[in-house]
């Protein structure tokens, strides 16, 4: 059931990204280009997503456990460390350069163009690089 549940979540996510225009790098970059062809659409995407998630999460957490799993896996950390700050800053630079973030690029793989493939392959190279370095150094993996 876990895979089927996640497949459904992925489908809804992919439809959401596609309709919202966030799989289109030109539209994403224009949100940040206030001094140029500004397109505020991304704020409406974030707004819609956060309102639904904020309310929905609270309804879901009234239950003692998820439907098909024994527990909720919710991150508990609250410290602001150097990795969070530096990593987020680096992520933003890459997002600005390419116009893709992970959530926009994955559904865009299904659009049928080659640019998302090139971006995702490069992103996987970056993820793998850190993962290999961490394994040698003994650190923790990604967890949002």
Torsion 4-6-7-8 (CA) sign: positive
Q: Using a CB cutoff of 8 Å and minimum separation of 24, what contacts does 79-86 make?
A: none
Q: What are the C-alpha distances in Å from 124 to residues 48, 82, 120, 132? A: 29, 23, 6, 12
Distance in Å, CB of 24 to another protein, minimum: 5
| 80 touching another protein, by CB under 8 A | yes
Residue 20 within binding range of another protein, rule CB under 8 A: yes
Total binding residues toward another protein, as defined by CB under 8 A: 122
Q: Is 62 in the site for another protein (CB under 8 A)?
A: no
Residue 40 sits in the site that holds another protein (CB under 8 A): yes
Does position 54 bind another protein by CB under 8 A? yes
Residue 136 lies near another protein (rule: CB under 8 A) = no
In whole angstroms, the minimum distance from the beta carbon of 23 to another protein comes to 6
Which of 7, 136, 137, 138: binder of another protein (CB under 8 A)?
7
CA distances from 77 to 66, 74, 99 (A): 21, 9, 29
67 binds another protein (CB under 8 A): yes
> CB within 8 A of 87, min separation 6: which ones?
none
Q: Does 64 bind another protein (CB under 8 A)?
A: no
């Amino acid at each position: 059931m876990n895979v089927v549940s996640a497949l459904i979540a992925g489908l809804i996510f992919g439809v959401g990204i596609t309709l919202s225009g966030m799989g289109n790098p030109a539209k994403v970059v224009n949100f940040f280009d206030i001094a140029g062809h500004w397109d505020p659409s991304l704020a409406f995407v974030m707004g819609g997503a956060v309102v639904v998630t904020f309310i929905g999460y609270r309804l879901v957490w009234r239950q003692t456990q998820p439907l098909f799993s024994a527990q909720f896996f919710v991150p508990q950390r609250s410290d602001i460390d150097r990795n969070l700050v530096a990593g987020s800053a680096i992520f933003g630079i890459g997002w600005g350069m390419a116009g893709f973030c992970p959530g926009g690029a994955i559904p865009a793989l299904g659009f049928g163009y080659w640019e998302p493939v090139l971006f995702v392959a490069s992103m996987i190279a970056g993820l793998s690089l850190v993962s290999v370095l961490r394994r040698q150094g003994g650190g923790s993996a990604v967890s949002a």
